């Protein structure tokens, strides 16, 4: 039996799955923990991955790494980090994103160039931040990698060149999905010069072997692209992912270009495209609220479902860590519509779930505006396992809501890519996917929930204050 490994190196942890290359059967799993921070020494990721893989790869013939998007790993000529990696959720580069947008000629110029308008999360904005604030580090930078690129490069024994894929490269802000090429002029605009970047491999291209072994390395990809590969998305499938961040995305046969900046025009991990909207605040909105209320997550769910849809007018704007969509990096969460009647733990619990999901319902609307026609919404990520979340989601979407079989979709997608690379086939292997036994919730839209949320949002000033 040939085995493949898939790695999910996320903001908070590393997860590894071992699956049968032909059938996709899950055989074993391992994991490690990452620091809870917005900048991290990438060598800590490598340490955790090395520990997780130690003695774990018996029988494995292929491995791919999927990772958090956008992070900036700046390396010197010796291959050592010049500073801690800046992660996607580090918003200090918000001003730099604004400057870059203006310098190229505005949002439309960026949308035309790379399909996306840079925000603080994008790698190109972080590169500019380093150039502006840490010129000595910028001068020492010889190579810039994404988090998943760095781990693939380390697994291969730090060869002269590094590799990435279309999906993750499309989140840098200096690679064009439509042109399938780097825009070195945009990297130079950010850094003041061009440095070494990884080769962008084909979706199922063999990019090396793990040093000291015959285990084949796939190019890897970004976390959202890997989840899409695991779910084997079809046109009309819209994924709403509820992890540390929230994302809404769908596959497309054509590249998107949204000058509003709401939709990022990414590529996927199969040679297609992946228009995506991202919010900074998702699962941690619920865990923070439950902690404040002194409830475990089961009691939190029961409390939320005991309150009526719309929480009797109580609205939570869930901008706990600032926000990316809408672009309010300095915003903070606010509670609107408080009355003596609705200021209860149950109403607050319900409002927190509705607030998290209303932001993502707005994200799905933005996908519709660039040509996506939803036929169903797939809820994935840690918060999707909460028994109240899908029921609340059904009140907000006009299409069926499906909760796939729980799994490590990002790691599973990486494993499927590894099997694809090993097989040499034109298409990924046909594994039994997590949608086979998905639980479906019929749409039960309630008037007023999204309208109240939109009204609260419009009351927020552009500086993020109520």
Tens of pLDDT, residues 226-279: 999 999 998 899 999 998 889 999 999 999 999 999 999 999 999 999 999 999
User: Annotated active-site positions, please?
Assistant: 223
Q: Does 433 have pLDDT greater than 90?
A: no
- Predicted local confidence at residue 466, as pLDDT: 54
- Predicted local confidence at residue 328, as pLDDT: 84
Q: Does 305 have pLDDT greater than 80?
A: yes
Q: Does 434 have pLDDT greater than 70?
A: yes
Sign of CA dihedral 389, 371, 368, 363: positive
Residue 460's pLDDT band, with cuts at 50, 70 and 90, is: confident
- Predicted local confidence at residue 326, as pLDDT: 85
Topology at the third CATH level for domain 3-223: Nucleotidyltransferase; domain 5 (3.30.420)
Share of the chain above pLDDT 70, in %: 99
* Stretch 329-345: mean pLDDT: 95
Looking at every residue in the chain, the average pLDDT score rounds to 95
Residue with tokens 């929230």: 246
What are the structural domain ranges in the chain?
3-223, 231-404+436-466
**Rounded to two decimals, what is the model's pTM?**
0.91
> 1.10.10.10, 3.30.70.3170, 3.40.50.2300, 3.30.420.40: which CATH number matches 231-404+436-466?
3.30.420.40
Round to whole Å and give the CA distance between 417 and 326.
33
**Nearest C-alpha neighbor of 118 from the set 270, 278, 251, 315:** 278
Domains 3-223 and 231-404+436-466 share a fold: yes
Q: What per-residue string of b and e applies to 408-437 under the rule 16 or more CB within 10 Å gives b?
A: bbbbbbbbbbbbbbbbeeeebbebebbbee
Round to whole Å and give the CA distance between 272 and 32.
32
Beta carbons of 258 and 370 less than 8 angstroms apart: yes
Q: Does 465 have pLDDT greater than 80?
A: no
Round to whole Å and give the CA distance between 321 and 284.
10
Q: How many CB atoms are closer than 10 A to CB 137? A: 15
Q: What is the DSSP string of 123-142?
A: HHHHHHHHHHH-HHHHHH--
Residue with tokens 């009647």: 341
Beta carbons of 61 and 1 less than 8 angstroms apart: no
- Predicted local confidence at residue 38, as pLDDT: 95
Instruction: Supply 173's token pair.
Output: 């802000």
Greatest extent of the chain over all pairs of C-alpha atoms, in Å = 67
**Nearest C-alpha neighbor of 367 from the set 204, 251, 193, 222:** 251
Three-class SS state of 234:
coil
Three-class SS state of 91:
helix
pLDDT tens for residues 173-192? 999 999 999 999 999 999 99
Q: What is the DSSP string of 397-435?
A: -SS-EEEPPP--HHHHHHHHHHHHHHHT-SS------TT
Instruction: Supply 194's token pair.
Output: 């061009």
Burial tier of 462 (Cβ tally within 10 Å: 0-12, 13-18, 19+): exposed
Q: Does 461 have pLDDT greater than 60?
A: no
**Four-CA torsion 158, 120, 113, 179, nearest 10 degrees:** 30
Round to whole Å and give the CA distance between 187 and 365.
31
Three-class SS state of 228:
helix
């Amino acid at each position: 039996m040939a085995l493949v490994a898939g790695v999910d190196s996320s903001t908070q942890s590393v997860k590894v799955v071992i699956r049968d290359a032909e059938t996709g059967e899950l055989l074993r799993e391992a994991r490690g923990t990452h620091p809870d921070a917005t900048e991290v020494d990438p060598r800590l990721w490598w340490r955790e991955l090395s520990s997780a893989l130690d003695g774990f790869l018996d029988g494995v013939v292929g491995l791919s790494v999927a990772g958090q998007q956008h992070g900036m790993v700046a390396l010197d000529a010796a291959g050592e980090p010049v500073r801690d990696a800046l992660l996607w959720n580090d918003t200090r580069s918000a001003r730099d994103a604004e400057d870059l947008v203006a310098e190229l000629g505005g949002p439309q110029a960026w949308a035309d160039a790379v399909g996306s308008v840079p925000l603080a999360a994008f790698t190109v904005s972080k590169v500019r931040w380093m150039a502006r604030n840490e010129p000595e580090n910028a001068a020492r930078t010889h190579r810039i990698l994404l988090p998943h690129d760095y781990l693939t490069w380390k697994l291969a024994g730090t060869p002269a060149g590094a590799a990435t894929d279309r999906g993750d490269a499309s989140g840098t802000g200096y690679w064009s999905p439509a042109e399938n090429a780097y825009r070195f002029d945009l990297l130079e605009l950010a850094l003041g010069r061009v440095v070494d970047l990884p080769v962008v491999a084909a979706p199922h291209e063999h990019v090396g072997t793990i040093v000291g072994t015959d285990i084949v390395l796939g190019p890897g990809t970004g976390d959202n692209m890997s989840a899409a590969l695991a779910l084997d998305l079809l046109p009309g499938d819209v994924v709403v992912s509820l992890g540390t961040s929230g994302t809404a995305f769908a596959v497309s046969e054509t590249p998107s270009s949204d000058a509003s900046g709401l939709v990022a025009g990414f590529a996927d991990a199969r040679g297609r495209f992946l228009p995506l909207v991202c919010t900074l605040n998702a699962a941690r909105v619920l865990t923070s609220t439950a902690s404040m209320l002194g409830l475990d997550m089961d009691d939190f769910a029961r409390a939320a479902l005991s309150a009526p849809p719309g929480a009797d007018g109580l609205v939570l704007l869930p901008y706990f860590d600032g926000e990316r969509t809408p672009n309010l990096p300095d915003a903070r969460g606010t509670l609107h519509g408080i009355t003596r009647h609705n200021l209860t733990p149950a109403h607050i619990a319900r409002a927190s779930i509705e607030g998290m999901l209303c932001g993502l319902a707005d994200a799905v609307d933005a996908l519709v505006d660039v040509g996506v026609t939803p036929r169903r919404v797939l809820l994935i990520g840690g918060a999707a396992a909460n028994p109240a979340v899908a029921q609340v989601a059904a009140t907000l979407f006009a299409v069926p809501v499906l909760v796939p079989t729980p799994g490590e979709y990002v790691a599973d997608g990486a494993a499927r890519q590894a099997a694809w690379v090993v097989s040499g086939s034109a298409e990924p292997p046909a594994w039994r996917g997590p949608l086979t036994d998905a639980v479906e919730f019929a749409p039960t839209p309630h008037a007023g929930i999204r309208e109240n949320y939109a009204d609260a949002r419009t009351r927020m000033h552009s500086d993020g204050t109520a």
